[in-house]
Structure 1
């Protein structure tokens, strides 16, 4: 059967090829240019192309870059994609030599290399913002080390703690998320160039040289895996999703704490919006924006990871240009969450009066009364728990603060043990005091000042290590860019 159609079909052009072309213009053209230049240097270094050939191609690449108005380009279908557009421009200037640049490579290894280059930029940016958030939270935690709060479990007042202790818990999770993102960047640092279509090349290419010039730590070893493996995609988006979920839980706490009925968290005026009709309203709507932006970011991560599900372990478009571009929205939302939370949490403060009233009304120090009875009266914890529970019920029924509950305590103690307590009224008052409660919990991980200070030192050390590791990677890539530019310029100079 004779096929009289011509490429591209107009619907395919408009629905697939044109959007992909625009995506390359926006996201990948600079990376493709760097790959072209590095590959040319490598071809000359290895003798696959002569220096004269390299010089001509280098000059042509510079001319194309200088004479092409990328923003004005639109997809016409004359060339299948951006790669073939550049190759056509090379051939226009150099004839058959223009096609020599593609020796020992494929669009396959080029695509995955430029995808990794685009992703590592976004990943490092997200990591830097997470590090800034962790630093801001650590500063805030140190400042709020001794600020009492009511800690809630199951939505009910539970025990006293401090805002610094709460933030320390947030920091620990965030540091784990930072480590996961840092680990997810490692596969992005392995270069696919030299894999060609899927099996490397019969030419004497230097894959290590390509990796070095493009700022990668090393080549990705298995050529099949360079093209077929998408773990650099799934691992990265999984690592980006987790902090959005984890920070979203903190944001939900902020919504609860700032509610009028709880009133523990004060959100400053700069982060509060008013009602258009109700003059009494103080709406901390940044909390809602944080919540939904984190959810959108997590959802976009799921879109990318789920797109890889049940795909073949080979070259496929399911992991390429359009999917890559779709994922960038996850980074856009995630960075907004990180930036806003870095501004929001340090700006908030704890309403000490409301904390004190809730502490009294909910008897949240009663656990320490039970502990004290075990230590000072020689009771079993269950006996002590029963006495403490009876004490709490009595003062709550009387709508009195726990610190005034010594008579109820003494009665409950006598009823349970058959004797009067040795615990004095002053000792009782100390046992049910919120500050005393916190100070006594000085074990590893507790809210007491010494325990928190030790934790803060550990967090700071971890942050310093992670920050230094990122700085080393960024410095390596910057130096590689300079080496690539110098090597490329050298191709054009006299020998």
Structure 2
């Protein structure tokens, strides 16, 4: 059992205790971040004269070699070490002897693991943002081509009023846009460096924490060393944002599942994103949508787990915090996988436009507009509501839509109706006359699409870098 802290102890750790305590099986995931953090740290030690320039360069070069060998597969991260930090340092000592032992000067594993997890999570935030951006581009493309694709809008899963596919998917665009905004917000708030916090109270060495923060692209050092080693708010925020992404994906998946059913037949999912039945040859199952919906609870579980872990932890670092990793790593991978697959499924999905419009007609989604027609012709609203209710009942009995009724049939229920009623209750009219911003009318949707295009042309990561450069020049 390779350990770097044995001087205080007179006997070996029990093997079961060691296994229970060890984290190498999962924290090896951020080997790159651990080594990059060590290189930044040792360069700063050399700059500050805490190590000689020669020692600093020798250690940094050796760590770089270790990193390259790990990534090339010629050096295996061995599970005989307690954690990734021990592996790196022990390998360094094997190669450099006493010089390698100087790497840990002015540093604790507490601030080291805090740094590694923050660096790793920061990269995950960027990767998740990129996947959300790709999904938004797919949604916007569908919106652009479907501003006149009529379909029923729903409340209570009941057909309510006619909308367009562009308008319906526009609601999801807004959801995923907010998810991207959360990524930006989390990135800005978490982008401070814990390295140099020590175990909890800093160090007596003359560290330049601003230097290491700048080397690794942080805005600056964290301003309280106890908070530096014990803060997991950024992880809780990220898991909360990931849970919200999964909630949005799950809602969208539920609609895809409904639309894919034989009763609706609004969409046809591409064969590449469907599976069949082992016994029923006619089946084409929406497995990707169902799995995305199912994996949502898995991500929720990671958030609840970390919240529960952190709720009773006094300052500063406690071993409980090791539990921040496994479920978080799983949630990160789950969300990225779901975003990628869902985007692929959506981009290849075919929308059955005629079926969607027919569903809107036969769902009496234009009933409200028929009532408005009567009101505009002097009929009190309550009476108009009752008249249209009779019309709907008549159509149900006849198995027809309001649009299918003759003028004589309409006049038999109310003599107020004239020939212009048919234009008034057409799907096109019902949608197009709703022109306020945010409504489904084509002109309103074109304005919204232009706004969304402008939003997607913005690169918040470049803006952030420009802003950071301005701060450094102050």
How far residue 81 of structure 1 moved from its aligned partner, in angstroms, is: 4.2
Kindly report which structure 2 residues correspond to 1:1-16, keeping only aligned pairs within 5 A, or say none: 6-16=11-21
CA contact (8 A) 1:245 1:298 kept: no
Residue aligning to 2:4: none
**2:353 aligned with 1:349, yes or no?**
no
Residue aligning to 1:489: none
From 220, 226, 229, give the equivalent of 1:227. 229
Aligned residues: 459
**Change in CA separation of 1:364 and 1:106 when aligned onto 2, cut-off 3 Å:** same
How far residue 155 of structure 1 moved from its aligned partner, in angstroms, is: 2.0
How far residue 264 of structure 1 moved from its aligned partner, in angstroms, is: 2.1
**2:32 aligned with 1:30, yes or no?**
yes
CA contact (8 A) 2:34 2:84 kept: no
**2:423 aligned with 1:430, yes or no?**
yes
**Change in CA separation of 1:383 and 1:334 when aligned onto 2, cut-off 3 Å:** same
Q: Distance in 1 between matches of 2:13 and 2:291?
A: 43
Residue aligning to 1:333: 334
Residue aligning to 2:5: none
Residue aligning to 2:293: 291
Deviations 1:392-421 (A, max 9, x none): 2222222232121544543443xxxxxx42
Kindly report which structure 2 residues correspond to 1:124-139, keeping only aligned pairs within 5 A, or say none: 124-139=126-141
Residue aligning to 2:78: 74
Give the SS at the match of 1:49. Answer: coil
How far residue 5 of structure 1 moved from its aligned partner, in angstroms, is: 6.6
**Change in CA separation of 1:233 and 1:372 when aligned onto 2, cut-off 3 Å:** same
Q: Distance in 1 between matches of 2:112 and 2:259?
A: 51
Kindly report which structure 2 residues correspond to 1:419-458, keeping only aligned pairs within 5 A, or say none: 420-421=415-416, 423-425=417-419, 427-458=420-451
Deviates further, 101-110 or 243-252: 101-110
CA contact (8 A) 1:149 1:264 kept: no
Q: Distance in 1 between matches of 2:74 and 2:108?
A: 23
Residue aligning to 1:401: 401
How far residue 256 of structure 1 moved from its aligned partner, in angstroms, is: 1.1
Give the SS at the match of 2:281. Answer: coil
Residue aligning to 1:384: 384
CA contact (8 A) 1:258 1:267 kept: yes
Give the SS at the match of 1:392. Answer: helix
Kindly report which structure 2 residues correspond to 1:220-369, keeping only aligned pairs within 5 A, or say none: 220-320=222-322, 322-369=323-370
Deviations 1:203-252 (A, max 9, x none): 32211110111122222222221112210110111011101011201110
Give the SS at the match of 1:127. Answer: helix
Deviates further, 81-90 or 307-316: 81-90
Deviations 1:67-112 (A, max 9, x none): 8887545344xx6544345445555666655443323222111110
CA contact (8 A) 2:395 2:402 kept: yes
Give the SS at the match of 2:103. Answer: helix
Residue aligning to 1:484: none
Q: Distance in 1 between matches of 2:29 and 2:93?
A: 25
Q: Distance in 1 between matches of 2:134 and 2:396?
A: 44
Deviations 1:343-374 (A, max 9, x none): 11232233234334333432211111112222
**Change in CA separation of 1:274 and 1:99 when aligned onto 2, cut-off 3 Å:** closer
Kindly report which structure 2 residues correspond to 1:183-222, keeping only aligned pairs within 5 A, or say none: 183-222=185-224
Q: Distance in 1 between matches of 2:311 and 2:11?
A: 34
Q: Distance in 1 between matches of 2:184 and 2:333?
A: 18
CA contact (8 A) 1:148 1:161 kept: yes
Q: Distance in 1 between matches of 2:68 and 2:133?
A: 38
Q: Distance in 1 between matches of 2:467 and 2:69?
A: 31
Greater relative contact order: 1 or 2 (C-alpha under 8 angstroms, separation 6 or more)? 1
How far residue 464 of structure 1 moved from its aligned partner, in angstroms, is: 2.4
How far residue 55 of structure 1 moved from its aligned partner, in angstroms, is: 3.9
Give the SS at the match of 1:160. Answer: strand
Q: Distance in 2 between matches of 1:221 and 1:110?
A: 16
Q: Distance in 1 between matches of 2:421 and 2:209?
A: 74
Q: Distance in 1 between matches of 2:261 and 2:461?
A: 39
Long gaps (5+) in structure 1: 414-419, 480-495
Q: Distance in 2 between matches of 1:67 and 1:145?
A: 54
Deviates further, 83-92 or 323-332: 83-92
Give the SS at the match of 2:159. Answer: strand
Q: Distance in 1 between matches of 2:350 and 2:109?
A: 54
CA contact (8 A) 2:239 2:299 kept: no
Long gaps (5+) in structure 2: 1-7, 470-474
Give the SS at the match of 1:281. Answer: coil
Give the SS at the match of 2:163. Answer: strand
CA contact (8 A) 2:266 2:352 kept: yes
Residue aligning to 1:483: none
How far residue 258 of structure 1 moved from its aligned partner, in angstroms, is: 1.5
Q: Distance in 1 between matches of 2:349 and 2:64?
A: 53
